[in-house]
Amino acid sequence: MRTKQTLPIQGFEIESIATPGIFHPVMGQFLLLGSVCLFLPFLASGHMIHYRSADPSASLLNSQARGPTTSNISDIFVGRCEEHVQCLQQDQCNTNTTLRGTCDQLWGTFVDAFAYKDPCQAGNDDYDAVIAAAMPHANKDESLFWSGLPKLALNNGRVTGRYTILEETLPGYIANGLTWCGQTGAPGINYNTPCPSAYSSGCANETMYTFWRAASRAFARQATGTISVALDGSRTNPPAFRNTSTFATNELPNLNTAAVTHVNILLVYDISVKGDNRRALCDKGSIKDLQTLLTDRGFTYTCIEGPRGFKFLQCAGDPDNARCVEACSFAVIPNASIALVLAASLLIKLVTGVRN
Ligand code: NAD
């Protein structure tokens, strides 16, 4: 469904580059790290990665402080829908869209789910028709769930093209970063006062979170093969795996045990955290709890502490960070010597080839 665009940053596809047989594993890693270091200034200055100026996932970080319904929401909703369906953004392509009907009809179905309703009294199935008309889809082995890392997970998916998160699928792409809520009086949509949050007392059945729960359930149900989950390994409160998270309560329970073969836990460490940022470990605490849940459901799992693709992505945005600088100064010297050795052996081969 989703066509993968090749970006000129091979360094992010770490495992495939450092595969024994293609490169010597150690040499491959030096080359890889070196190339990422060499590319960092370009990455940071935006010459090689095009980040959209208004990253919709950014607002997630402040999602508890809400405004009223996003102004012009119908235009944004329909525009994003067309963008996704027609593949107008080069890195968000769907060659076979999951949309049933038109984008205007989808907006109508969406409005019906919340307009003229109390925003704290949403029914669990209010958005089922929306999700049925715009099913999330990811290819086999590419579904990536996240908890606590919205921006990083989204950018990692976009840069590597290796994973798909809910926010890249049709319903997630349309709704991410938007705010909406209804009101019982005309015009049915509240454009004037802050929409209530599910965290406010008496608003457990809040309309936006009801949508995200429905989308998350559908995203989990469609996942096949190896799935991945990226967790914030640098936080302690809440722990990396929070058993009340959407991932724990809506996604994990809806994975199809017959279709999902393996779970890949990615413990991502935040490079901006001072001191020891490796606060969660694969064999301790909340990650152990997650592993028990996975085993109980019959899934096998692997767990990676500090997956380097996520680290390089953070370094691209913060190249002067000591954690990135250390990695580069360590890598560039051997990388330079390896390049010299390779160049010398190529020259010798050329010369001997000419003589023969
Ligand atoms: P998380 O704790 O990082 O929360 C992600 C978002 O969901 C935050 O905006 C948070 O405020 C909201 N949220 C989480 N629990 C909530 C609750 N009980 N009541 C109201 N809002 C709540 O990670 P998570 O909860 O595991 O959710 C992440 C997973 O669920 C991802 O796979 C993601 O695709 C999906 N999701 C996405 C969004 C979104 O706005 N893009 C929102 C919810 C869930």
CA 252 to each of CA 112, 164, 217, 338: distance values in angstroms, whole numbers, following the listed order = 29, 17, 9, 45
pLDDT exceeds cutoff 70 at 354: no
- Taking only the tens place, the pLDDT of each residue in 192-243 is 999 999 998 899 999 999 999 999 999 999 999 999 999 999 999 999 999 9
Q: Which residue puts its alpha carbon closest to atom 40 of ligand 1?
A: 176
Average pLDDT value for the chain: 79
Cβ-based neighbours of 159, under 8 Å, separated by 6 or more: 7, 9, 12, 49, 313
14 vs 64, higher pLDDT: 64
Please answer whether residues 172 and 166 qualify as being in contact, where contact means their C-beta atoms are separated by less than 8 angstroms. yes
Query: Is the pLDDT confidence value at 43 over 50?
Result: no
Q: Is 198 in the pocket of ligand 1 (CB under 6 A)?
A: yes
Q: What percent of the chain has pLDDT over 70?
A: 72
| Local confidence band at 97 (pLDDT 50, 70, 90 cut-offs) | confident
For residue 39 and ligand 1, the question of a CB distance below 6 A is answered with no
Whose Cα sits closest to atom 31 in ligand 1? 146
Lowest mean pLDDT among 39-43, 46-50, 185-189: 46-50
Ligand 1: centre distance to CA 206 (Å): 13
Q: Is the Cβ atom of 180 under 6 angstroms away from ligand 1? A: no
Mean pLDDT throughout 113-123? 98
* Residue 147 near ligand 1, beta carbon < 6 Å: yes
Closest residue by Cα to residue 48 from 11, 17, 20, 7: 7
pLDDT tens figures, 166-203: 999 999 999 999 999 999 999 999 999 999 999 988 99
Q: Is 205 helix (H, G, I), strand (E, B) or coil?
A: strand
The answer on pLDDT for 93 being more than 80 is no
In this prediction, residue 71 carries a pLDDT of 97
Tokens of 142: 């590419």
pLDDT tens-digit readout, 316-351: 989 999 999 865 555 444 455 445 545 555 555 555
Q: Could you tell me the distance, in angstroms and rounded to a whole number, from the CA of residue 215 to the centre of ligand 1?
A: 11
Tell me, in angstroms, the distance from the centre of ligand 1 to residue 246's CA. 5
pLDDT of residue 24: 32
Summarised one tens digit per residue, pLDDT across range 153-169 is: 777 777 777 899 999 99
Q: Higher-confidence residue: 15 or 321?
A: 321
Task: Provide the whole-model pTM.
Answer: 0.80
Confirm or reject: Cβ of 228 under 6 Å from ligand 1.
no
- Residue nearest atom 35 of ligand 1, based on CA coordinates: 216
DSSP 286-351: HHHHHHHHHHHTT-EEEEEES-HHHHHHHHHH-TTSHHHHHHHHHHHHHHHHHHHHHHHHHHHHHH
What is the radius of gyration, based on Cα positions, of the chain?
Answer: 23
* Å from CA of 61 to ligand 1 middle: 10
Mutate to test the pocket of ligand 1, among 237, 246, 249 (most ligand atoms within 8 A of CB): 246
Take residue 77 and report the two structure tokens written for it.
């909703």
